[in-house]
Chains A and B, each alone.
Chain A
Amino acid sequence: MSEPRIVAFLCHWCSYTGADLAGTARIKYSPNVRIIRVMCSGRIEPQFLLKALREGADGVLVCGCHPGDCHYHEGNYKCLRRFLMLRQMLGQYGIEEGRLRLEWVSASEGDRFAKLADEFTEQIRALGPLGGRAAFVEGTQQGGTSWAS
């Protein structure tokens, strides 16, 4: 059985530093989480999340500074608003809410990030594979359901 594929977008100033701390402290956490560092969670375009899902991610994790702590003052609030709108819209594509998760992780919360990575991996494992291109793009240029003749 294939392992869950998870893409994580982490802000440079808090969450990536937190994940880095998990590493330097040698805390073991799930290798299913592929981390992409961005300067601010406000830089995470909804396009990035859609692309990840299209290309085969089974879940997407977004992490930024705690509210009030954003290095750029407002970036994490923009991220929060975009995330909530996007997650709501993705319901119309048949994507469960549990596949997208937003958490605030500070630079000192290495152990918390490791726990989060493990927990989210299990959450996605329980939901099963999403399907990537096969589900959202390809292999559909025919009738092929119970309705076909």
Chain B
Amino acid sequence: MGKLNVGVYWAASCGGCDVAILDIHEKVLKVKEACDFFLWPIAMDFKYADVEALPDKHLDLVLFNGAVRNSENKHLAELLRKKSKLLVAFGSCAHTGGIPALANFTTKQGIFERAYLTSDSTDNPQKVIPKTKVKVPEGELTIPEFFERVFALDQVVDVDYYVPGCPPNPERIWEVLAAVVTGAPLPPKGSVIGAGTKALCDTCERKRTGDKKITGFKRVATTDWDPEVCFLDQGLVCLGPCTRDGCGLQCVQHSNMPCRGCYGLPPDISDQGAKMIAALGSLIDAKDPEEIARIAGELPDQAGYYYRFSAAAGLLERRKA
């Protein structure tokens, strides 16, 4: 078969997903043999105009990482949808909003005020705020419009597949690339690929002591914990109950750190935070409302903790408008 036409794009992202692709190591040479790249900003110099000039559906596969934060992200999402046969939401940000979507717990106005006016390191006596258009003697300059909230990719365009993870596990990436390259039969549209189908707790190998009873939440930075035993048993918040497996247990097993939830929702769950509250509600050992409030108060940023990677894709997608 001929070579595959491939594009990789970053929208509101950190670049970690692009690096994760390179983390397949020497197999990247096989990718190079099998693929022609038409866009990959972190690695190669293509211009948006080159992509705009391509015929529709010219790209066999586009790996789109990053959330949709501004009008440039949205434009590229729409453009790459038009030019691609398979559009893959690649990594947590494109899948469920990721870290950038934590901004959905505040507003655009709140972000601008903090960033340009009130932060301790800001020196802006004239209170200059970025404008999308500004006239200068040479003409008009424009920058992309900053949206009110952050979107996951499928909230803006139609998406064929999802590969979760922050970043996706390189072995899973290779499986996905290999499937497309070899022409293997693809799963149904809309599938989450390169991940498991259970909650992380179901595949975690840490020891469970049985009767979990939480009387207070501990912090990783100030606790010595047993490296073999379930984190929740020890009062450390681990998002295993509300997170999809398939990550290779990189945090909970190999790094001895609690799950942060980057593989997103397991199937049949519609909200990571709600599910985590359901789980913790069963574990907290208190019946008195004041005592419960005290224990819950030890997690002052519940939303930020539970939705660290999925704030744009919760049942409530943003702070009240």
Contacts and interface: CB of A to CB of B under 8 A. Distances in A.
A77 B289 CA distance: 9
A51 B277 CA distance: 15
A78 to B, nearest CB: 5
B147 A142 contact: yes
Interface in A76-106: 77-82, 84-86, 88-89, 92-95
A85 B302 contact: yes
Interface residues of B, number: 49
Interface in A99-149: 130-131, 134-137, 139-149
A85 B282 CA distance: 12
Interface stretch (B18-26, B174-182, B312-320): B312-320
Interface string A54-66: 1000000000000
A136 B321 contact: yes
B302 A88 contact: yes
Interface in B255-286: 269-271, 273-275, 277-278, 280-282, 284, 286
Interface in A16-42: none
Given A45-B278, A84-B293, A92 B132 contact: no
Contacts of B315: 47, 50-51, 53-54
Given A140-B148, A143-B145, A147-B108, A135 B320 contact: yes
B321 A149 contact: no
B40 interface: no
A95 B320 contact: yes
A87 B281 CA distance: 13
B281 A82 contact: yes
B interface: dominant SS: mixed
A49 to B, nearest CB: 8
Contact of A81 (B133, B292, B301, B316): B292
B321 A140 contact: yes
Contact of B287 (A50, A54, A77, A137): A77
Contact of A143 (B146, B269, B287): B146
A interface: dominant SS: helix
Interface of B: 74, 105, 107-109, 112, 129, 131-133, 145-149, 151, 156, 269-271, 273-275, 277-278, 280-282, 284, 286-287, 289, 292-293, 296-297, 301-304, 306, 314-321
Interface of A: 45-47, 49-51, 53-54, 67, 77-82, 84-86, 88-89, 92-95, 130-131, 134-137, 139-149
Contact of B147 (A88, A131, A140, A146): A140
Nearest to A88: B296
Contact of B316 (A136, A139, A140): A136
A147 B320 contact: no
A146 B292 CA distance: 41
A142 B148 contact: yes
Given A81-B284, A81-B296, A85-B296, 4 more contacts: A92-B304, A135-B321, A136-B320, A142-B145
B302 A89 contact: yes
Question: Which interface residue of B132, B281, B302 has the most chain A CB atoms within 10 A?
Answer: B281
A82 B287 contact: no
B115 to A, nearest CB: 11
Given A84-B293, A93-B320, A147 B109 contact: yes
Nearest to A54: B315
A82 B278 contact: yes
Nearest to B321: A135
A-B pairs with the 7 shortest C-beta distances? A82-B281, A94-B320, A46-B274, A50-B315, A92-B303, A81-B281, A89-B302
A44 B315 CA distance: 16
B256 to A, nearest CB: 27
